[in-house]
């Protein structure tokens, strides 16, 4: 299993590096660029299309996994038995992988269209909800632990998927930020999946991590390519998939129900940024769907930090909440309270920094 994990991680990393480099060259030649805009911090034209490389890398490994399951059932049977898993469970994942891949393709197309034509928010939300509902119903990507009705569970799961998609779409406001935080969150989720013996979820997480690390070679400040909406929608989608498919709680451990809150703790910083920015825009009489530079990352930069310092600060904040989340399924109630308290304190620090910056000049 260690060898397989290494192949998935390193293979996806190098393929992502190669594809991102090729997409960058193509974007420069075709003029597919992100140009400086008055209400953004970017001051130079940067190639777009990083999301294409991210999607193709994920597609290659998902298709390869699907083909392996179909063409080499004997190897799948031995792997399943070594992990005390019903071999039929592996075969049942094939259709789910296909639905997930087609859903990601739809979001990629939506994002590319938006990158070129700047679509209205309601069109984007409609497609996102359609994709989220399809995944919840057809790929069994939904929370079912405390919600027995499949339709209600699917509805809640679809809302969560759309929320995470947009959280990462909002988070993609500075070089390396969205991809880096997605890597950190996925590492924590991979740990939970591995501890629960979830081979497929763990494998998908490793491929996703390797893909994003390869993209970060070109996207870490100063970025040589942007993922664009095509990338942020796909990245947010896969993070949402991982949060819903990872097992955090086992009924035999009835006293540790709070482990199901792990995704909220892992995603605390991105969700705080998403919610606070929307509330701030609404309080100012602005549309929450119109971008600006009022994100926490922008406030940090206005206080004198460089792009790299800002991104690393948010990496560390996410890592702090994520490390605590990784232990939620192992600690008793008192330990869980400490983890939740730590998460609240980290968000409180962010809020204090934002409050002290309230007199800074905000963008329009």
Reply yes or no on whether the pLDDT at 250 is more than 90.
Answer: no
Q: Confirm if 119 and 113 have CB atoms less than 8 A apart.
A: yes
- Between 34 and 289, the higher pLDDT residue: 34
Reply yes or no on whether the pLDDT at 81 is more than 70.
Answer: no
Reply yes or no on whether the pLDDT at 69 is more than 90.
Answer: no
Share of the chain above pLDDT 90, in %: 48
* Domain coverage including residue 52: 2-356
**Per-residue pLDDT, 230:** 94
Name the band, by pLDDT with cuts 50, 70 and 90, for residue 290.
confident
Mean pLDDT for 6-34 is: 94
What is the Cα–Cα distance from 124 to 127, expressed in whole angstroms? 5
Reply yes or no on whether the pLDDT at 300 is more than 60.
Answer: yes
Counting Cβ atoms within 10 Å, is residue 97 exposed (0-12), middle (13-18) or buried (19+)?
A: middle
361 within some domain: no
- Between 226 and 83, the higher pLDDT residue: 226
162 within some domain: yes
Least confident of 92-106, 292-306, 329-343: 292-306
Reply yes or no on whether the pLDDT at 217 is more than 90.
Answer: yes
Reply yes or no on whether the pLDDT at 354 is more than 80.
Answer: no
Q: What is the pLDDT of residues 116-170, one digit of tens each?
A: 888 888 899 999 999 999 999 988 888 766 667 788 888 999 999 999 999 999 8
What is the Cα–Cα distance from 264 to 271, expressed in whole angstroms? 8
**Per-residue pLDDT, 200:** 83
Q: What domain count does the chain have?
A: 1
Q: Which residues contact 230 (CB under 8 A, 6 or more apart)?
A: 48, 49, 51, 52, 55, 107, 108, 110, 111, 112, 114, 115
Please name every residue paired with 33 in a beta bridge, in sequence order, or none if there are none: 47
Name the band, by pLDDT with cuts 50, 70 and 90, for residue 89.
low
Nearest residue to 237 (alpha-carbon basis) of 54, 23, 13: 54
Mean of per-residue pLDDT scores for the chain: 85
**Per-residue pLDDT, 39:** 52
- 78 three-class SS: helix
- The H or E element that residue 4 is part of is helix 2-30
Nearest residue to 60 (alpha-carbon basis) of 1, 14, 91: 14
182 within some domain: yes
- Between 2 and 73, the higher pLDDT residue: 2
- Which runs of consecutive H residues, i.e. helices, occur in 139-198? 150-171, 177-195
**Per-residue pLDDT, 90:** 61
What is the Cα–Cα distance from 32 to 49, expressed in whole angstroms? 8
Mean pLDDT for 89-93 is: 65
84 within some domain: yes
Name the band, by pLDDT with cuts 50, 70 and 90, for residue 363.
very low
**Per-residue pLDDT, 93:** 73
Highest mean pLDDT among 190-204, 231-245, 291-305: 231-245
**Per-residue pLDDT, 65:** 79
Q: What is the pLDDT of residues 162-214, one digit of tens each?
A: 999 999 998 998 899 999 999 999 999 999 888 887 888 888 999 999 999 99
Provide the whole-model pTM: 0.89
**Per-residue pLDDT, 74:** 61
87 within some domain: yes
């Amino acid at each position: 299993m260690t060898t397989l994990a290494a192949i998935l991680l390193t293979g996806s990393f190098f393929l992502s590096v190669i594809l991102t480099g090729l997409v960058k060259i193509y974007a420069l030649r075709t003029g597919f660029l992100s140009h400086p805009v008055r209400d953004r911090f970017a001051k130079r034209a940067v190639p777009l299309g990083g999301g294409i490389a991210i999607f193709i890398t994920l597609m290659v490994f998902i298709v390869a996994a699907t083909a392996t399951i179909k063409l080499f059932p004997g190897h799948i049977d031995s792997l399943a038995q070594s992990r005390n898993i019903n071999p039929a469970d592996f075969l049942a994942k094939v259709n789910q992988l296909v639905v997930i891949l087609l859903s990601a393709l739809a979001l990629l197309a939506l994002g590319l269209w938006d990158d070129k034509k700047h679509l209205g928010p309601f069109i984007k939300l409609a497609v996102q909800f359609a994709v989220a509902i399809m995944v919840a119903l057809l790929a069994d990507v939904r929370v079912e632990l405390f919600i027995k009705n499949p339709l209600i569970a699917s509805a809640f799961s679809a809302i969560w998927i759309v929320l995470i998609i947009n959280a990462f779409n909002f988070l993609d406001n500075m070089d390396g930020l969205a991809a880096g935080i997605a890597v950190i969150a996925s590492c924590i989720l991979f740990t939970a999946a591995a501890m629960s013996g979830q081979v497929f979820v763990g494998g998908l997480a490793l491929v996703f991590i390797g893909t994003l690390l390869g993209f970060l070679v070109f996207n870490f400040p100063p970025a040589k390519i942007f993922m664009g909406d095509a990338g942020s929608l796909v990245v947010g989608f896969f993070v949402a998939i991982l949060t819903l498919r990872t097992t955090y709680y086992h009924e035999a451990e009835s006293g540790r129900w709070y482990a199901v809150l792990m995704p909220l703790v892992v995603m605390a910083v991105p969700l705080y940024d998403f919610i606070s920015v929307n509330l701030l825009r609404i309080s100012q009489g602005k549309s929450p769907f119109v971008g600006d530079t009022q994100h926490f990352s922008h406030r940090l930069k206005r206080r004198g930090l460089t792009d790299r310092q800002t991104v690393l600060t948010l990496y560390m904040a996410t890592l702090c909440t994520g490390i605590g989340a990784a232990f939620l399924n192992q600690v008793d109630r008192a330990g869980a309270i400490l983890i939740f308290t730590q998460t609240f304190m980290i968000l409180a620090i962010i809020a204090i920094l934002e409050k002290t910056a309230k007199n800074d000049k905000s963008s329009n």
